[in-house]
Structure formats: C-alpha cells, structure tokens
Amino acid sequence: MKIIKRNGSEVDFNIEKIEVAVTKANDVVNDAEKMTPMQIKRIAQSVALSCQKMNRALSVEEIQDLVEKQIMAHGAFEVAKRYITYRYTRSLVRKSNTTDDKILSLIECNNEEAKQENSNKNPTVNSVQRDYMAGEVSKDITNRILLPQDIVQAHNEGIIHFHDADYFAQHMHNCDLVNLEDMLQNGTVISGTMIEKPHSFSTACNIATQIIAQVASNQYGGQSISLAHLAPFVQVSREKLRRDVAAEMADAGVEMTQQQINAIAEKRLRSEINKGVQTIQYQVVTLLTTNGQAPFVTVFMYLNEAKNEQEKQDLAIIIEEMLAQRYIGVKNEDGVWITPAFPKLIYVLEEDNVHADSKYYYLTKLAAKCSAKRLVPDYISEKKMKELKEGNCFPVMGCRSALAPWKDEEGNYKFYGRFNQGVVTINLVDVALSSGGNTEKFWSIFDERLELCYRALMCRHNRLKGTLSDAAPILWQYGACARLKKGETIDKLLFGGYSSISLGYAGLYECVKFMTGKSHTHPEATPFAIRIMEHMNDACNKWKEQTNIAFSIYGTPLESTTYKFAKCLQRRFGVIEGVTDKGYITNSYHVHVTEPIDAFEKLRFEAKFQHLSSGGAISYIEVPNMQNNLDAVLAVIRFIYDNIMYAELNTKSDYCSECGFDGEIQIVEQDGKFIWRCPKCGNTDQNRMNVARRTCGYIGSQFWNQGRTQEIKERVLHL
C-alpha cells in the first residue's frame, strides 16, 4: 500500500509512523487523559484498514484526518487536541516556502503526482521538468497573490477546479482556431523572420508546422488548423510542376501533348502531397514546444470548406493522404509501427461522403479503417452541427472547446482567429453531497457555487485584459488570432463574443445518482439532469448580458482532475456507494463507464446534452478490435451523422517491446495499485510498452494517475 507525501512523491505505507505520531501526542497529556499502547495500536490498525478500503494511494493529509477521527472516536480528546496543534504548527512552517520540496522532487523524478498529471508529458525530460518547475512557481504566486483566497480554498478542496493555474501568472489564453488561411495567403512573421506566401504545397505544409510550434509555445491549450487552408496550394504546385515538366521535355527535345505533360505533373504532385502530409504528421509528433510536449493540435478535414470544385477535389486528395499515413502510424524506438497521440484528426460527415453512393464515400471507408486501428479520426456531423450553430460547420478548438457563431462588421460569420479565454469547472457531485439530498438546498448551494465560478472566471478574463500584442506576436500581430499593432492591447478581442470563456462541469451522473437514486439515463432522472444543464446555461446567459463576455457551458475533459475530485469527495463525505466509491468521477454529461448500454442508445441519449453544452462537448463509444468488422464501424458513423454533432470511437492500440505482443495491454491490481501488464509475457515496465488510450478527447500515451487508470480499466464495451 502506498501513500503520497506532500511533495508529491510516493512511498510505502508505514503503520509505525502513525503509532509514533499518536504516541508523541499522548506523551504530553496528563496521565488521566493518556491512552494505552493497545489503544494506540488499534487506532493505527483502523487507519490502515480505512486506507486499504479506499483502494488508492492516500495523501499524508488524508491519513492524518483519519488519525484525528480515530483518536476522537476513542474519546481521547486531549490527545486529539495535541495532535491537531502539532499538525497546525507544522503546516505554518511548511507555508513559509511552498515550492522548494516540490521542485526538488520534480528534478529527482520521484514526484508521482507530476508523473501522472499529463498523459502526454514525460516528466523525466529536462524540458518537461523545466515547465513543471516554472508551473510550481506560477501556482505559488497565483495562490498567494493573484487569486482571492476563497477561490484558492475552493480549488484546493475540489469544490471547483481553476484550470491551468500553472500558467495563470502569465498573460496566456487557453485554445484557438488558428487562422492558417490568413497566415499562408498574406504572409506572417516567425521569430522575427518574414514568411511570404508559399509557392508550393510542400512549402505551405512546412510553414504550417512552424506556425503550429510557435502557437503552442505561446498558449497552454489546444489549437486547430484546417486542411482546407492548405488545399489552394495544391493547384499552385500543379501549375508549377506542369511548367517544369514542359521545360524539361523541351530541353530534352521530346515532343509531348499537354495531356501527357499533365499526367507526369500529376504523378509528381501526388508525391509532393505525400511528402507534405508526412511533414505535418512527423513534425507534429517530434516537435517539443517550450512546455515540453508535442503541440496539442487538431487537424480538421471538411470537404465543403473548399471554395470551388477543383479545390474540393484537391482537398480530398490531402485528406486521403492524411488518413492513409495515420493508418500506418509511426515507428517507435524499436522500429515498430505504433499509434501516435498527435495530431488529432476530425473528419466531417456530409452528404458527399456519408452514403455508399456518395462521391467521396471512399474517404469515409478509409476513415473507418483508420479509426478501427488508430483511434482517429473523430467525427463531426455537418447536418447536426448546422442545426445547432446557425447553419455553420467549423472545427472545435483542441479536443472539444467550441465557439458560438459570431459575425464581423460586414455581417460575415468568422471562426478562424478566435480563441477561448480559459475554464473554471464546477464539481456537481460536491453540490449534491453538500445539500444532503435536499432539493431546495441543492439549488441554493448550486447558485452559490456558480457565483464562485463566475468570480473565478472573471479573474481569468481580467488577467488577460491589458495584455499587449507584443506578449505573443505570432498570435496577436502576425495573424494566428489577429493583426493588431505593436503596443496595442488585445482587449477588444475579449468582448462581444469574439472569444469565449467557459464554465466547465463534471460529475453529472454522480450528482443525479445521489439526488434521485437513479442514473441520469433513467427516464425518471433524466429531466433533473436536463434541468441542471439548463440552470448552468441560464447562469451563463445572465453573465453574458451583464458583461458582454461570451460565457458558455463546457463539458470538461477531466484528466488528472477526475482523480483529484474523487479524492476530495471521499475526504469530505466518505465513501458512498455508487457516488464516491471510485477513484474518479464521470466526465461532463457522459454515461457512467460501468453502465451497460448499447452504442447507438448511448449516442442517442448523450445527444440530448450536447446542444446544452454549447461551449464544447464530445461523446464516445467503447469498442473492441473492429479491424475485421468495418461494416459495423461504418454503421456507427452513419448513425453519428444523423443523430449527434460530435463523437468518437475508442478502441485499443498497444505494443509490448519485451515480447512483441500487439494487442491490448491489460490493467491489473497489485498491492492496492493499478498497473499495466502484458498478457503475453507479464511485462509491467511502462518504459517497455506503448499504450494509447483516449483520455479526455485527446489520445494519451504517457500513462495516467490511479483514478484515470481505474476509469479506463472499468470501461464497458458498447458494441
């Protein structure tokens, strides 16, 4: 059994330390108040038993809370008083410097919390350590100086989650839709160097990867680019290649028809497209940004975004190449083809590609084949998105954060160049448990917590106000988000709906379960779940009217926070069956991962909540190996097109470097901890295996904390 120390490092549970601590408190009270050695031993044993029942590694603070309760249960109130006083004195000493121990544990690579915080960061790498170290300093400044203490306390207690506090000290925003079209067509500046409009498709792809790297280094969230912005450069290359072929043939004295010249040029063009797409795929995977990870980039593939028929055909070629290369994968250090985490791919389903007799149905079949092996692409239904977004279809920012439709001064819809200011998430489970199940009290507490979230979100907004465009020229001056002047603030982009700011939510299932006794999928409980969603939307609409800031509801993609929330709930309310008895809580509105439900019914049910999560949401179904059943994958895809705006299929794509096993690496429990084990050779060394799992929209490949690992283990199949 393990415990997590205050600096984040993980050590073995030692019952003797509890006995020693209680004995010290016991030694300084009067003889009449003293406990016997047997009573102290029983206290330690009871605490150990409680820790085992938690089925996860507890923190030192949680264990000390259990010790206090056991001392009180034995009626030794004076001993408890001494023990509490000692804890308080030690906490004051620790508060004098809150960062040194954590930073040292990061450098020595024994901080278990850091190791498990981000499933796409390797904490042993210098650049990641540097980012985490800077993050600890930023969080310390944020908690002591920049944020009101009630917000800090609510965050620490898991009542809300103030996302990305490690970046809050800087004037940085969350995620965006990169205006790649503007930057390629009108030029940009990268690291002080003028980059003019490219004269070939391959050059455009190369520039795009440089833009991606620069953008990722100047924000902390995901970014999205569209392949439609690269499509015009296919024709540029086509014309150039035709001229080159004609000149070569003339120099060689060979007479050729224009048709023959075009055929040779087209063959060379295909080769260039292959290399250009390969540049994007490999550059994104191998790039390390200033925060020590590959850019969280999403590639949007939408045929109807093309401006004419020729451009649409060229875009189809790029999409085909992107899917084909992703299906192959990338080689790991052993030379084995594996599933990369990035770039994330989104494929738009539309009339031209969703039916068996559609012109571009071959692309959808290739997408299905790729999803079955490599977990991507995810799918957006053009039909459903247009119903919800004023007739528009556009990419999400990163894995799910979505903008609301917005028009410029000429009345034209604009999406690229827009961004999200940040997220604060409300823990709905805590609202329910704090109410004790009393409905009237629930709504009262809910409103109090929403007001707390509003003030926290305004802290995010106000932190961005006054930011000079000089802080991130690639974003604010050179086209990724805007073309502001040097020295100009970004303030005008923060109001009027140009950018969004998100009220996240988590644990709708557990919240409804506690309040009604039923899953939110039950017909008697669903109306209550819908009412909760509508209440949050009402709050966002009210805030928007008051401030002219685009507040929206966001289905939070909890990663490490799902474990944090679960631990906080157990600490505050104990273990409640079906509510707090897991090491995780459910993401956003999702059906609980253990609940048996048919894939089509799950998507149909969750579609009810996507339109209420206008700031972003994604649904998924868990499937087995579908590589030999692509007809079933295509049936799911067609169902997505008709029923839900944004969805994905989760399968498994693993490899064991010890024995060459290519299948599903299993999660098993060992000594009270979840570990990954190869079913063929028994290998448990994470450094000798490649595991890819959908974590929270993105694919994770660096493993996860105990809460998320348990959640992955307990996912039931929907197909």
DSSP one-letter string for 330-367? EE-TTS-EE----SEEEEEE-TTTSSTTSTTHHHHHHH
DSSP 479: S
Are the C-beta atoms of 607 and 644 separated by less than 8 Å?
A: yes
Going by C-alpha positions, the residue among 310, 308, 326, 300 that lies closest to residue 382 is 300
Task: Based on DSSP, count helices (H) and strands (E) in the chain, helices before strands.
Answer: 24, 24
- In the set 370, 397, 453, 540, the catalytic residue is 397
- CA 504/CA 511 separation, integer angstroms: 15
- In the set 554, 563, 620, 641, the catalytic residue is 554
577 assigned to active site: no
181 assigned to active site: no
Mean pLDDT, consecutive 10-residue stretches, the chain (719 aa), reads 72 89 90 90 91 79 88 88 77 55 54 51 61 73 91 96 91 96 97 95 97 93 96 98 96 95 97 97 78 82 98 98 96 90 95 97 98 96 97 93 95 97 98 98 98 98 96 97 97 97 98 98 98 98 98 90 92 94 95 97 97 95 94 98 97 91 92 91 93 82 83 94
pLDDT of residue 232: 98
SS3 helix, strand, coil % of the chain, rounded to 5?
Answer: 50, 15, 35
Q: What does the domain layout of the chain look like in residue ranges?
A: 1-96
Q: How many Å separate Cα 300 from the centre of its chain?
A: 17
| Alpha carbon separation from 196 to 186, 203, 478, 479, 510 (Å, rounded) | 7, 11, 12, 13, 53
- In the set 35, 175, 183, 568, the catalytic residue is 175
401 assigned to active site: yes
pLDDT of residue 349: 98
175 assigned to active site: yes
Other C-beta atoms closer than 10 Å to the C-beta of 604 total 16
420 assigned to active site: yes
- CA 337/CA 641 separation, integer angstroms: 31
643 assigned to active site: no
pLDDT of residue 554: 96
174 assigned to active site: yes
308 assigned to active site: no
Kindly state the helix (H) or strand (E) to which residue 193 belongs, with its residue range: strand 193-195
- In the set 353, 401, 499, 537, the catalytic residue is 401
Q: What is the pTM assigned to this prediction?
A: 0.86
397 assigned to active site: yes
Which residues, including other chains, have CB under 8 Å from residue 609's CB and lie 6 or more apart? 508, 529, 530, 533, 555, 588, 589, 617
- In the set 78, 320, 559, 622, the catalytic residue is 559
- In the set 119, 420, 427, 500, the catalytic residue is 420
Beta strand spans in 586-687 (E): 619-622, 646-650, 655-656, 666-670, 673-677
- CA 597/CA 519 separation, integer angstroms: 12
- In the set 276, 479, 507, 697, the catalytic residue is 697
- In the set 399, 511, 533, 696, the catalytic residue is 399
- In the set 50, 111, 118, 174, the catalytic residue is 174
